[in-house]
Chain A
Amino acid sequence: MDTAATEARKITAAADSRSDIAAGREYLTFTLGAEEYGVDILKVQEIRGYDAVTRIPDAPDFIKGVINLRGTIVPVVDMRLKFKLGKAEYNEFTVMIILNIARRVVGMVVDGVSDVLQLTAEQIRPAPEFGGAVNTRYITGLGALDQRMLILVDIEKLMSGADMALMDAQAQSLQ
């Protein structure tokens, strides 16, 4: 990556903490059931196929287990199960978005990954009062692009939330 691009990414990352500013950023879009979602590309570490997962006792059903990601143990969440959307099938087309959030790595299974989009401020509308599967607490806005409607999710907040059961209470309070 050249320096200018690195610089640009740094600047975007610096604006990150202010979740109200959602414009001019790049989003990775993915589908869950009939809805299309977007997450900040800076939170995405990689995209990979669904691996053999080791199941964890006493975990909710949407936590599929843990995988070995180059030597670290990474939990995998199936968003289709979490939001009861789509069909939770696992085959060679099943994809997992590896997220880097709150200094942790989490795998997220979705129906499919579409593309990376840049949205300007004009293309983003405020989040609706009530909405689809994802609690509006975690939605930063709606992105309109041609005929498409993107639900922009604050993935860090969503994944750190108590109902995701991904962190100990202590770790949550540190966020």
Chain B
Amino acid sequence: MSMDLSRFHQTFFEESFEGLDSMEAALLRLDPADVDAETINTIFRAAHSIKGGGGTFGFTAVSAFTHLLETLLDQMRSGRRAVVPELVNLLLRSVDAVRELLQAARDGRAANLELIAGHQLALEQALAGPATPAVPTVVVAAGGEPAVAAPNRGWRIRFAPHPGLFRSGNDPLRILRELSGLGQLRSEVELPAPLKLSATVAEESHARWQLELISGASEAEVREAFAWVEDDCELEITALAPVAEARPALTLIQGGRAEAPVAAASAPRWTGPERRGGNEATGSIRVPTDKIDVLINLVGELVITQAMLAQTGAQLDPVANERLLTALAQLDRNTRSLQESVMGIRMLPMDFVFSRFPRMIHDLAGKLGKQVRLETQGADTELDKSVIEKIADPLTHLVRNALDHGIETPEQRRAAGKPEEGVITLAASHRGGNIIIEIVDDGRGLDRERILAKARSQGLEAADTLSDAEVWQLIFAPGFSTAEVITDVSGRGVGMDVVKKNILALNGQVELASQLGRGMRITIRLPLTLAILDGMSIAVGNEVFIVPLAAVVESLQARPDDVKTIGHSSRVVRVRNELVPLIDLHELVRLPGGAVGEHNLCILIESEGRKLALGVDELLGQQQVVVKSLESNYRRVPYMSGATILGDGRVALILDAAELVRRTQPAIAA
């Protein structure tokens, strides 16, 4: 039987990555001054499982590397090797190496061998270190059998089990069966004279065997059959003389039914209480994400169908169709709750991302010579998996920045009258339909003058009259960096613009607050899910577009004298005391149909603190829409973040408020 083991790979990778995470968490918890045995045990077990699985599923690089890790851990576990910070760091780095090996194996690419080899060498050196007697990794052949495999006629075997052999669940007949699989077996059994087939005797083994195995099998192969009982028997194996001897006196006992002690092993199956399949204690199951995505898509379709039905139903006579309309209302409620429940499946706790930071901060703080404590709040706040995955990198960058640029060295902090240990706080919470993530540090804060000077030196327009909030936005400009020393920690001025872009791509927003010398707070606001959006549908000519409701400030009917043309073609509209740039959607999307600016109907949108008025033909209403990607079969479309399917089955494009505001007002200064 040959079996494709790849079906188990997914589970293996998942559990191994989880195992690495728990190793990492436990290693960080490990206090060399007060070593907790259970913590080391946890780390050991995780390594052990990865090694075992790696070997079984054919990832030999993983198992070979993890073996070194496991050996070291085993020494620490048994107290043969002291737990010192250097070793903990080595283990942490090794965890990274195993992760790299696993990722490479999962993605079917070559692993970063340089990284692996470096760590492997370090581990081998550590293992060879003086604290421990050398650990034999060579498998010592049990029983020390001679490696002679000379071809001969076969083997004479004297096998005398100790009386307690059965108590280990072993059965001499099993061994005889196995031997007969190697060749032709003749056996002769000797029973002690006073044997009585009483129950007490049945629990003990009293027979002895003289065996002759006619076979080309090596002695090692023969011994292998006795491997489990070596210590429970007397065993002599000698080669048979090469000349065939006629031994008619020997009796062939096949299956050995003459023997009583078989009873225990072949007792009828106990028909007890009902079976239990699997484990009742586990309240969760593992489901591949693509299955969930199919479910979400189907629910999305259902929502659309339901909307179509509702639309049709609204045109019916409410009296004549009362029962149908009641049923439709019921369908509406059920669809909504189904949608909510299904979306909930994809939700993961923020801890999914937060948990990577203790390690990162531990490593970085050490490298930078800083003392930092990480505090997290609301780690159990749930967020859509796709959002979580995409927010991880921007968050990492921001935390790194806070540590590198925000938190001062212990000396600087002491001089500033602050505790030597800085604090970085990560907090997540639900607010309205949004998730708010905050990164707060008690470091030096942003320096307004330095940012302005830096911006000007890089050719950015930056007037002294800019508000603080506007100055802080400057650090999101491409290529901007205020670090005096470029460190290898947070890069060379690339980053903040990318961070912002990533957050905007999630329909999110980012805000900064800072106080010089006191610290800084970055607030990220994200929608709960990317898959569903509250939108306002608007008509432009014959086309329908969706504007994310989160970006809509108000809609207004501009009077002709409120609209002014500036320069060649730029127009602004007066909204109370504010002049807001005005863009006619007709011009923007350049679609035929409808006259430009005929009605002066505008919707005011806001993003990144900037406003824009969009001229539209008609407001159609508000609705929840299921966001579909344009890029999966087509390409990115300017000013559009995606598409959706309307109640009538038609496709409507979703406007990208952030891009609209940005592209229509390129200058930073207001």
Contact = CB atoms under 8 A, between A and B. Distances in A.
Interface of A: 52, 54-59, 65-68, 70-75, 104-106, 165-168, 171
B638 A57 contact: yes
B543 interface: yes
A54 B634 contact: no
A71 B297 contact: yes
11 contacts: A54-B643, A57-B638, A57-B639, A58-B590, A68-B650, A71-B304, A73-B633, A73-B643, A73-B651, A167-B634, A171-B631
Contact of B301 (A54, A71, A75, A171): A71
Interface in B39-81: none
B591 interface: yes
Contact of A68 (B588, B645, B653): B645
A73 B637 contact: no
Nearest to B301: A71
Given A57-B591, A71-B297, A73-B630, A66 B635 contact: no
A65 B543 CA distance: 12
A171 B633 CA distance: 10
Given A68-B649, A71-B297, A166 B543 contact: no
A72 B644 CA distance: 9
B172 interface: no
A51 B263 CA distance: 76
B492 interface: no
Given A66-B643, A71-B301, A73-B643, A54 B631 contact: no
Contacts of A58: 589-590, 637-638
Contacts of A52: 650
Per CB-CB distance, the 3 closest pairs between chain A and chain B, nearest first, are A57-B589, A54-B651, A75-B634
Interface string B294-306: 0001001100100
Nearest to B637: A56
A104 B628 CA distance: 14
Nearest to A58: B638
A106 B589 contact: no
A50 to B, nearest CB: 14
Contacts of B650: 52, 54, 68
A57 B633 contact: no
B182 to A, nearest CB: 41
Contacts, number: 74
B367 to A, nearest CB: 34
A162 to B, nearest CB: 11
B635 A57 contact: no
B651 A167 contact: no
Contacts of B628: 71-73
B632 interface: yes
Contact of A104 (B589, B590, B632, B639): B632
Contacts of B637: 56-59
Interface string B586-597: 001111000000
B636 A105 contact: no
* Most chain B CB atoms below 10 A, which of A71, A73, A171: A73
Interface residues of B, number: 29
Nearest to A65: B651
A75 to B, nearest CB: 4
B593 to A, nearest CB: 9
Contacts of A75: 633-634
B123 interface: no
B112 interface: no
B311 interface: no
B652 interface: yes
Contacts of A171: 631, 635
Nearest to B640: A57
A166 B635 contact: yes
Contacts of A59: 637
A58 B638 CA distance: 7
A59 B640 CA distance: 13
B632 A72 contact: yes
B635 A68 contact: no
Contact of A55 (B591, B629, B635, B636): B591
Contacts of B652: 54
A64 to B, nearest CB: 12
A105 B637 CA distance: 17
B653 A56 contact: yes
* Most chain B CB atoms below 10 A, which of A55, A106, A167, A168: A55
A104 B651 contact: no
A67 B652 CA distance: 10
A171 B634 CA distance: 10
Nearest to B591: A55
A55 B543 contact: yes
Contacts of A71: 297, 300-301, 304, 628, 645
A10 B274 CA distance: 46
Nearest to A70: B301
Contacts of A74: 633-634
Interface in B596-651: 628-640, 643, 645, 649-651
A56 to B, nearest CB: 6
A168 B301 contact: no
A54 B633 contact: no
Nearest to B652: A54
Contacts of B643: 54, 66, 73
A166 to B, nearest CB: 6
Contacts of B636: 168
Contacts of B300: 71
Nearest to A172: B635
Given A73-B630, A166-B635, A54 B543 contact: yes
A98 to B, nearest CB: 11
A71 B630 CA distance: 12
A66 B650 CA distance: 9
B633 A72 contact: yes
Given A71-B628, A74-B633, A171-B635, 5 more contacts: A66-B651, A68-B645, A71-B297, A71-B300, A73-B645
Given A56-B653, A57-B640, A73-B651, A167 B635 contact: yes
